[in-house]
Amino acid sequence: MPISGNYSGRYRPQIHFSPPENFMNDPNGLFLDGHGTYHMYYQYNPSGLVAGDQHWGHATSKDLYHWTNQPIAIFPPNNDSQVFSGSAVIDTNNTSGFFPNQTNGVVAIYTLNTPAAQVQEIAYSHDGGYTFTRFAGNPVINSTSTQFRDPKVIWHEDRWVMAIAYAQDYTIGIFTSSDLKTWTHASNFTRPGLPGEQYECPNLLKMPVHGSTESMYLLLISINPGAPLGGSITQYFPGAFNGTHFVPVDDVTRYTDFAKDNYAGQFFYGIPESDHPVSIAWASNWQYAQDAPTADEGWRSAMSLPRRNFLANITDAGWDLVSLPHDLSPVVGEQLAARSNLLNDTLVADYSSVASNAIYFEVHVAGVAGANGAATLNFTASSPISGESLSGGYFFAGNNSFFLNRGGVHGFDDAFFTTNFNTTSLLRADGTWSLSGLIDRSLIEVFVDRGAHSATATFFATQPLTLFALSTAELPEDASVSVKVYALKSTWSENAKTTVVENVEE
């Protein structure tokens, strides 16, 4: 039976996925089945509000926003082990031999963590990924190391390919298999990049190149701890892959997110090659994930928005991973405010009556080439009750800096909860720039310059933010700024209400 949860808490995201209760971290085993159902497994402790007793939780969706909480999918075999991160594939051709009479058999590949070692196991499902049977011949890759984990498996031409982390050796191993049961080491990838203190959760996949029919390969490596802002972060390398070896195009260090709450992202298996690859990440940071105040509501951690991704040659760094929200139409509600040209003016949208307490906004700017140093765009989401605010802005001249500031909300006091984030976002040659963002009770995601830069940040206000304002100043007279703000519909309940604090309805 599907599992229910209380999604009415003040901090409970209404658009982003969060577990029914207790603690969640990395997304695992993401795949799209032949019936159009997305499956998301995730690192889950069903018995506590911190990491520890790791299982694979499970949820399903038809649109990546409206999720059904399914029963736990994979349990550890004993009290001394935990089921760590991994991936899942559909064994259409029955290469494993587990599925002689079906083409939709699912195989999960994961790390079994024990006091002695981290080994790689598989489990198979005859019912489309709802229940699993552990392979009697486990482990499929043995080990004496306690730092060897997070297998991500793809199909490449005529074989299965696994990318896996030798965590404290700063190395990604590449293994190949014909049957998912017997694996052969093919190569290792070690780059300077940002080593941090350990590598985790690699992804290796083919990625389309914007504006062409070509594609490249992308290797993503999560790092924790050791991020520039502290804690966890994900870096990526564009390059080429021949089935056994990955070769990057350069040594540039690139990050998937310029804020602090986007980690261990994974791409869905089974997305048609004609579509953009789709990913979901864990929207938190190991520096404070186990201390977040959502524990008062009986849960901790949420996932990022589902994102569609592609590569584009935009900045001086060369290839950039562009990420944008997956089709938001299932959750977009009424338009709250709009201006066709917000030139040196302010737009205000009151969303206190929006049941979800979630909004989406988008801005398109043109004609700003040559803007002076005072030309800016700023936005705030604030609480008229407490005076708290979340803010961001962009400077159209100088260093073309975009910033995001969560320091104006006061519901969480933690030394590692960094408040300010920024990135450089150069104007396009045609003098255009864009911004979109989604604010969801305790999560904000922004997508700068059509997704060339993105940021994910949690925030915890003592009162709900209900007033959105966006303004521009000192723009050239021939510039144009179109703005739209939309209410978002709760994916858990159309009647989801925020809570009452100090006898004031939020």
Catalytic residues: 26
**Helix, strand, or coil here: 290?**
helix
The residues, any chain, with a CB within 8 Å of residue 272's CB and separated by 6 or more, are none
**Is 124 within 8 Å of 239 (Cβ atoms)?**
no
**Is 433 within 8 Å of 369 (Cβ atoms)?**
no
Write 319-323 long-range contacts (CB < 8 A, 24+): 319/216, 319/238, 319/249, 319/254, 320/254, 320/452, 321/207, 321/218, 321/236, 321/238, 321/254, 321/256, 322/210, 322/450, 322/451, 322/452, 323/256, 323/279, 323/447, 323/451, 323/454
**Is 118 within 8 Å of 169 (Cβ atoms)?**
no
204, 267, 394, 491 from 156: Cα distances, Å:
11, 15, 42, 36
Task: Give the strand order in the sheet containing 467-473.
Answer: 346-350, 467-473, 376-382, 389-395, 401-405, 420-424
**Helix, strand, or coil here: 295?**
helix
Integer Cα distance of 39 and 31 in angstroms: 5
211, 300, 320, 353 from 433: Cα distances, Å:
18, 35, 16, 31
Integer Cα distance of 493 and 6 in angstroms: 10
The residues, any chain, with a CB within 8 Å of residue 432's CB and separated by 6 or more, are 364, 365, 366, 368
Integer Cα distance of 162 and 181 in angstroms: 12
Integer Cα distance of 171 and 167 in angstroms: 7
Structure tokens that stand for 464 in this block: 């709900």
Exposed, middle or buried by CB within 10 Å (0-12, 13-18, 19+), for 369? Answer: middle
Integer Cα distance of 68 and 2 in angstroms: 7
CA 198 to chain CA mean position, Å? 20
Integer Cα distance of 161 and 157 in angstroms: 10
**Helix, strand, or coil here: 505?**
strand
